[in-house]
Amino acid sequence: QVQLVESGGGSVQAGGSLGLSCAASGYSDSRSCMGWGWFRQAPGKEREGVAAIGSDGRATIADSVKGRFTISQDNAKNTLYLQMNSLKPEDTAMYYCAATFFCGHWLVLRPLEYRYWGQGTQVTVSS
């Protein structure tokens, strides 16, 4: 069973930066490749796709965070990253990483397309 564990959340003032990590484990086939995504959900709001990246290294970023957030991956470590700069109070949310076995081009920001989810890490941005 694939497990995803996020880390790196916390509290920061507006304009600050945070980096999130998501480590995947539980699959033994070294040839497996993943489509990855970061999502966030604020209280009372729907889960929102933030960024996605495929095994080909191509990525997409939601318009709401474009120019401020960067998604990357380390395939050797089965780890996904989200670097968040110039944070705003409206970025406050629980952030989740998600993955699904897929090789190639993956620019998917729809939650239903992902099979595996982490438990989430809280990001709080104060003004």
What is the chain written as a DSSP string?
A: --EEEEE--EEEETT--EEEEEEEES---TT--EEEEEEEE-TTS--EEEEEE-TTS-EEE-TTTTTTEEEEEEGGGTEEEEEE-S--GGG-EEEEEEEEE--S------GGG--EE---EEEEEE-
| Mean per-residue pLDDT of the chain | 94
pLDDT of residue 28: 67
Is the predicted pLDDT of residue 29 greater than 70, yes or no? no
